[in-house]
Amino acid sequence: MKKSAVVLMVLVTGLFAASFAFAAGQQEGQAAGGKIKIAMVVKSLGNTFFDAAHQGGEQAAKELGNVDLIYQGPSTPTPEGQIALIDSLIAQRVNAIEISANDTDALVPIAKKAMAAGIKVISFDSGIAPDGRILHLAASNDELIGRSEVQIIAKLLNYQGEIAILSATAQATNQNTWIDYMKKELQDPKYANMKLDAVVYGDDLADKSYREATGLFKSYPNLKGIISPTTVGIMYTAKAIEDAGLAGKIQLTGLGLPSQMKQYITDGTCQEMELWNPIDLGYTATYISYLLVKGNVTSVSPGQSFTVGKMGSLTVGDNNVVVMGKPFVFDKSNIDKFASIY
């Protein structure tokens, strides 16, 4: 049987068969009878979105039984901070690294070094370029996210007025991809009376996001709407809008955590926003990392499927990207229900 066919067979047969097939294959770095060491490296510590992903990762680790999940991230979202962490994880001989990348390309060399040392590297949430990972796990479809954000702000503004985007870091793979699709969507003639004034970066930091939002109000007195496709950015933009007495005058949408945005959704500062379940994202990333370690899988190809515990079957798509689901829209009618979960 061809090697690729063997890999495929293993991946589609599900957890029971997978553990059976690989019971004999101890991984390097996994002490005999010891736990599989999976490192979740996030953009930065202190971001509640990633705390929720960590929670999901722990759920998967518990369910799988013999996983030690190491949660790490730099104090600020820089690729340099992540490179230093990965270097030390290589030295610790972890079995897998799942990373939400602060840069698409800058992390490729260190990720390659990790893979050459036998570590299974995947990206999740924010991708590394294909050379630097076995696969990328996307919470949702990038095009859908980018285009729907513009559709929401346009609806809130009756298709009229100046808008701005307040993003995370300037190098973030995920936000940059979504912003590209936002710009494409804005080219549709139905947005002829709308104008994108600026894209600014709050770096997923509280004060910088707040300052950048305030800066937008000053620089663009005719600003009518802001899209903030980051859970940190949208929360501090909402706060800045309220503090400046601009609620209702500047509409806000983006990607927010229901637990952090509940008050702003309820009082109308942000009428609608989107997101997906970050707990499920962390669960899935950890579960897939485990399957790759167990199967000693070094490459996958489009069309393969994984059986990922409670998430069911997920299929690898183009460029080895696995897409989880559709973004969910939150508004006054459903925010209370989700605010207690994530």
Provide the binding-site residues for ligand RAM, judged by CB under 6 A: 43, 47, 49, 100, 125-126, 168, 174, 204, 230-232, 255
Rounded to a whole number of angstroms, the minimum distance from the CB of residue 176 to ligand RAM is 11
Instruction: Select 15 or 45, whichever has its Cβ closest to ligand RAM.
Output: 45
Instruction: Select 83 or 172, whichever has its Cβ closest to ligand RAM.
Output: 172
Instruction: Select 51 or 63, whichever has its Cβ closest to ligand RAM.
Output: 51
Rounded to a whole number of angstroms, the minimum distance from the CB of residue 257 to ligand RAM is 8
* Strand (E) or helix (H) holding 236: helix 231-243
Rounded to a whole number of angstroms, the minimum distance from the CB of residue 231 to ligand RAM is 4
* Strand (E) or helix (H) holding 315: strand 313-315
Rounded to a whole number of angstroms, the minimum distance from the CB of residue 172 to ligand RAM is 6
Cβ contacts of 103-110, under 8 Å, gap ≥ 24: 103/79, 103/171, 103/173, 104/128, 104/129, 104/171, 104/173, 104/176, 105/129, 106/79, 106/171, 107/79, 107/82, 107/83, 107/132, 108/132, 110/82, 110/83, 110/86
Rounded to a whole number of angstroms, the minimum distance from the CB of residue 100 to ligand RAM is 6
Instruction: Select 100 or 289, whichever has its Cβ closest to ligand RAM.
Output: 100
Instruction: Select 269 or 277, whichever has its Cβ closest to ligand RAM.
Output: 277
Instruction: Select 191 or 330, whichever has its Cβ closest to ligand RAM.
Output: 330
Question: What whole-number distance in Å separates Cα of residue 172 and Cα of residue 79?
Answer: 10
Buried b (16+ CB within 10 A) or exposed e, 192-229: eebbbbebbbbbbbeebbbebbbebbeebeebbbbbbb
Rounded to a whole number of angstroms, the minimum distance from the CB of residue 125 to ligand RAM is 5
Rounded to a whole number of angstroms, the minimum distance from the CB of residue 205 to ligand RAM is 11
Instruction: Select 58 or 142, whichever has its Cβ closest to ligand RAM.
Output: 142
Instruction: Select 36 or 285, whichever has its Cβ closest to ligand RAM.
Output: 285
Question: What angle in degrees, to the nearest 10, is found between the helix axes of 258-266 and 231-243?
Answer: 30
Buried b (16+ CB within 10 A) or exposed e, 87-102: eebbeeebbbbbbbbb
Rounded to a whole number of angstroms, the minimum distance from the CB of residue 277 to ligand RAM is 12
Instruction: Select 194 or 255, whichever has its Cβ closest to ligand RAM.
Output: 255
Q: Which two tokens stand for residue 9?
A: 């067979």
Rounded to a whole number of angstroms, the minimum distance from the CB of residue 20 to ligand RAM is 35
Burial class (CB in 10 A: 0-12, 13-18, 19+), 146: buried
Question: What whole-number distance in Å separates Cα of residue 338 and Cα of residue 292?
Answer: 32
Question: What whole-number distance in Å separates Cα of residue 100 and Cα of residue 86?
Answer: 12
**Alpha-carbon torsion 184, 104, 169, 204, what sign?**
positive
Tell me which residue has its CB nearest to ligand RAM: 49
